[in-house]
């Protein structure tokens, strides 16, 4: 998994390097033309929409990459609620570096804050129920680690980070493999062969497939995909705590509580990342 501190730093270093290369190219010619090389400025990060703040630590990393002497005075930490008009932090650094990093900081924080805010709304809908809201792999390529970080800041949980840290046998695997039992048996043999002990999710599309999976066994969690609420409730009762249960498919902010009340252990929501709307932030130089 890439959630540990060292791996996150590695991904963050790569992200900042590539993002600056994309934006700056052979130089920020506007700033080089207008701003003396030794000028220093102070700027503040202004919040323009209500939500849950995310990306402050990423901003710190970016500013210190472009100017190792940059200093951030943080007033609102990651994961905290913000309102329009709040000042999240002030940064003091080389002016050219500040202007070079401005758009990267804003784009990243706006995206992360949007995800954290939406995640927090989902969490609020079910916070009195014994269920966990999970994200999915429906993320933006190469910035998955940032988007999943934002999900956690919003109060929801990460599922697998990639194809390597959890086995998920989905409908395409089952159909290509010849059936649920065959897929589960091959996964068990593969794990033994490779010396792995990964969690295993088996996706089922109806009660017939659920009974097939329960009869075969050899998995950690059953994913009940696109089940109507009455069938979802029946499926949870059928599993009867023998395995973890997860609901997925068509979950949104309006129906997540109804889904959670069926008794499932987990609800996975692709919308946390693929449908989050960025929150408006701005970075203003202080005169």
In a domain, 214, yes or no: yes
pLDDT over 90, % of the chain: 97
First to last CA, the chain: 44
Same domain, 11 and 112: yes
Same domain, 166 and 247: yes
> pLDDT band for position 3 (50/70/90)?
low
pLDDT on residue 286? 94
111 an active-site residue? Answer: no
Catalytic residue among 203, 209, 246, 265: 203
192 an active-site residue? Answer: no
Q: What are 248's two structure tokens?
A: 């997925």
How far, in Å, CA of 121 to CA of 269, rounded?
12
Q: What is the pLDDT of residues 100-146, one digit of tens each?
A: 999 999 999 999 999 999 999 999 999 999 999 999 999 999 999 99
pLDDT on residue 287? 79
Q: What is the pLDDT of residues 258-283, one digit of tens each?
A: 999 999 999 999 999 999 999 999 99
How far, in Å, CA of 195 to CA of 197, rounded?
7
186 an active-site residue? Answer: no
Residue 2 reports pLDDT greater than 60: no
Contact present, 156 and 119 (Cβ < 8 Å):
yes
Domain assignment of residue 240, given as a range: 157-268
Same domain, 13 and 67: yes
Task: Give exposure, 270-287, as e/b (b: 16+ Cβ within 10 Å).
Answer: bbbbeebebbebebeeee
Catalytic residue among 9, 71, 103, 284: 103
Q: What are 194's two structure tokens?
A: 């490779």
> pLDDT band for position 1 (50/70/90)?
very low
In a domain, 126, yes or no: no
Q: What is the pLDDT of residues 34-86, one digit of tens each?
A: 999 999 999 999 999 999 999 999 999 999 999 999 999 999 999 999 999 99
Catalytic residue among 102, 225, 246, 265: 225
138 an active-site residue? Answer: yes
9 an active-site residue? Answer: no
Same domain, 191 and 112: no
In a domain, 137, yes or no: no
In a domain, 134, yes or no: no
Which CATH number fits the domain that encloses residue 51? 3.90.1170.20
pTM beyond 0.85, yes or no:
yes
How far, in Å, CA of 271 to CA of 193, rounded?
36
Contact present, 122 and 272 (Cβ < 8 Å):
yes
Helices (H), 127-254: 144-153, 171-177, 180-194, 207-216, 229-239
């Amino acid at each position: 998994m890439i959630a540990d501190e060292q791996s996150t730093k590695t991904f963050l270093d790569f992200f900042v390097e590539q993002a600056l290369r994309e934006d700056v190219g052979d130089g920020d010619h506007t700033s080089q033309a207008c701003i003396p090389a030794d000028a220093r400025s102070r700027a503040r990060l202004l919040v323009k929409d209500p939500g849950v703040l995310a990306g402050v630590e990423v901003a710190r990393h970016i500013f210190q990459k472009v100017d190792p002497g940059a200093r951030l005075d943080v007033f609102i930490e990651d994961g905290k609620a913000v309102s329009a008009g709040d000042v999240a932090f002030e940064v003091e650094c080389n002016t050219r570096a500040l202007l070079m990093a401005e758009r990267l900081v804003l784009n990243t924080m706006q995206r992360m804050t949007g995800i954290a805010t939406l995640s927090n709304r989902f969490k609020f809908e079910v916070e009195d129920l014994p269920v966990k809201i999970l994200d999915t792999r429906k993320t933006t390529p190469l910035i998955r680690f940032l988007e999943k970080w934002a999900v956690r800041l919003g109060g929801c949980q990460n599922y697998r980070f990639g194809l390597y840290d959890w086995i998920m046998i989905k409908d395409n695997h089952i159909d290509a493999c010849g059936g649920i039992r065959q897929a589960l048996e091959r996964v068990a043999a593969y794990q033994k062969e490779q010396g792995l002990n990964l969690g295993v999710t088996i996706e089922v599309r109806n009660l017939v497939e659920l009974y097939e999976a329960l009869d075969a066994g050899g998995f950690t969690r059953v994913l009940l995909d696109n089940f109507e609420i009455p069938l979802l409730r029946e499926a949870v009762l059928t599993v009867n705590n023998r395995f973890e249960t997860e609901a997925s498919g068509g979950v949104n902010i309006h129906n997540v509580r109804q889904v959670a009340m069926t008794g499932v252990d987990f609800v996975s929501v692709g919308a946390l990342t693929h449908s989050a709307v960025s929150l408006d932030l701005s970075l203003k130089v202080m005169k």
